[in-house]
Amino acid sequence: MSISAPFPPEHQNQEFLENRYSLINVGLKWTIVVLLFVTLNQFLALYFGGDTSIVNMDVAMLSVAVNLFMALTGTIVFLLNRQLHRRGGDWSRLMDLNMHVLGVVVMASWVVHVYLAGTQNTLIVMMIPGTAMVLVWIFSGRWAWFYWMASNVALTAICYLEVVGELPYSPLLVRPEGGAEIYLDIRYRLLNGGFYAVGSAMLIFYVTRLKAALESSHAETMRAKAELAVLATTDSLTGLLVRRSILPKFEEQLVRADRDGQPLCVVILDIDNFKSVNDTYGHAVGDEVIKMVAEVLRHSFREYYDLIARIGGEEYLVVLPHNDLASGRALAERARLHLNQQSVPDGQGGTIGVTASFGVAQYLPGRKTTTDALIHDADEAHYVAKRAGKDRVCVAGDDANQQSATG
């Protein structure tokens, strides 16, 4: 039985995806609320107080419609994301697809707004790098740069069409003939566009680097958390579970045994004469003995199914789901015989043979026996094995003559 970290990578990824889903949905919800509020105020202001001598009302209502379309698309994506999350499966990838659709709609809407309000004299243009910075956190820096570049290519094309006279400049505003010459001048556009491009690119670059640094720090924190969890739940010498980590798993197996109507066995074993090994050969050799016994137990029982723990200096606990007393005793006997075939270098040119005494107890479904009671029964059986001569298996409730013979 090999022990891995209690927070395997797939669980860490799931936690990350759940947090990401929550943040995206909260952001979407409030963005939709703000957009609807802005759209309503924009509509009321234009409908009741719009000055047709300044503002082209048809174009202004088109601007309102674009905002409403963004809010509607965001609402649909928000509802789809919630539905996908509830259904499970590959919801995260489908959510990303929804967010890409929303990203295209939002960036295209900003381009339309910038054109309607005037490509050279509106602060709305800063919504493009602003949205790109949000996309850094939703997707990645690469996607943010892609959307930013695509939007600016569209803006450049619009500027060109304005300069050559194919598109009117700032169709939202009604102004005297010739009122936009300064904005059509190519020198002004190069200066203004260069400032915008450099400034917004620097912002996106900074946010991308900041996100990368935060993700790296988060990954280091998660690795440290996993390592601490392993240290808290496993024995540093053998890699087996420790008492405090096996007991909750033991409780779960009792619940499962009741549910499935299957018995369960508990094995307690203790290395024979371990104190004399430490006293004669030193603690380094004693540690090798402990590690060797742990390896024998790993190979004697079912990997990823049975539970194995080191619960004391030279004492081990094994939980065997779906095993009655006879099969539990047979498995313990197999481990005992396997242990008899092993030896450990004594550090003085020789080897040490190692034996252990085993006690086995059984849990029957519906008995409502506690883990402490089962461990106590197995421990008592193991003491019977010790008193009977060691290197043998005893089962709880048996007389002293119901013991395996010494190999």
Question: Could you tell me where the DSSP H helices lie in 119-185?
Answer: 127-138, 141-163, 181-184
Helix (H, G, I), strand (E, B) or coil at 217: helix
Give the model's confidence band at 185: pLDDT under 50 very low, under 70 low, under 90 confident, else very high.
low
* Calpha distance 379→370 (Å, rounded): 14
Of 163, 329, 309, 289, nearest in space to 242 by CA: 309
Question: Does residue 261 come out as left (phi exceeding 0), alpha (psi in the -120 to 50 range) or beta?
Answer: left
Query: How high is the pLDDT of residue 13?
Result: 66
Token pair for 288: 């090798």
Is residue 63 within 8 A of residue 116, CB to CB? The reply is yes
Buried b (16+ CB within 10 A) or exposed e, 91-126: bbebbbebbbebbebbbbbbbbbbbbbbbbebebbe
> Which pLDDT score is estimated for 236?
84
Residue 6: closest CA among 249, 300, 267: 249
Domain-by-domain residue ranges, the chain? 9-230, 243-395
Alpha helices in 50-126 (DSSP H): 57-87, 91-117
Residue, of 127 and 179, whose pLDDT is higher: 127
Once rounded to an integer, what is the mean pLDDT over residues 394-399? 77
174 has a pLDDT exceeding 90: no
198-226 per-position pLDDT tens digit: 767 877 776 777 677 777 777 777 777 77
Positive/negative CA dihedral, 41, 42, 48, 49: positive
The pLDDT value given to residue 109: 93
More confident residue, 44 or 203: 44
Confidence of residue 4 (pLDDT cuts 50, 70, 90): very low
Per-residue pLDDT for 188 more than 70? no
- Give the residue from 354, 225, 371 showing the smallest Cα distance to 307: 371
Query: How far apart, in whole angstroms, are the C-alpha atoms of residue 374 and residue 361?
Result: 6
Mean pLDDT calculated for residue range 154-163: 90
Instruction: Look at 173 and 265; give whichever has higher pLDDT.
Output: 265
What residues act catalytically? 314
Report the pLDDT value the prediction gives residue 403, as an integer from 0 to 100: 41
Residue 405: what pLDDT? 37
Residues of the chain with pLDDT > 90, as a percent, come to 44
- Dihedral, 171, 186, 195, 136 alpha carbons, nearest 10: 60
Dihedral angle sign, alpha carbons of residues 168, 173, 179, 181: negative
| pLDDT score at 331 | 95
Q: What is the pLDDT of residue 398?
A: 59
Q: For residue 55, is pLDDT > 60?
A: yes
| Higher local confidence (pLDDT), 234 or 121 | 234
Report the Cα–Cα distance between both ends of the chain, in Å, rounded: 25
Confidence of residue 8 (pLDDT cuts 50, 70, 90): very low
Residue 58 has pLDDT above 60, yes or no: yes
Distance of CA 151 to the CA centre of its chain: 33
Q: Which fold has domain 243-395?
A: Alpha-Beta Plaits (3.30.70)
Torsion of CA 216, 221, 224, 229, to 10 degrees: -140
Res. 189: pLDDT tops 60: yes
The whole-chain average pLDDT of the chain stands at: 84
In angstroms, the Cα distances linking 210 to 130, 133, 350 are 15, 11, 60
The reported pTM is 0.52
Mean pLDDT of 114-120: 85
pLDDT score for 179: 53
Residue 10 has a pLDDT of: 40
Using one digit for the tens of pLDDT, what is the confidence trace for 337-367?
A: 999 999 999 888 889 999 999 999 999 998 8
Q: Which helix (H) or strand (E) holds 171?
A: none
The b-or-e profile of 317-342 (16+ CB within 10 A means b, else e) is bbbbbbbebeebbebbbebbeebbeb
pLDDT in tens, 281-333: 999 999 999 999 999 999 999 877 899 999 988 999 999 999 999 999 999 99
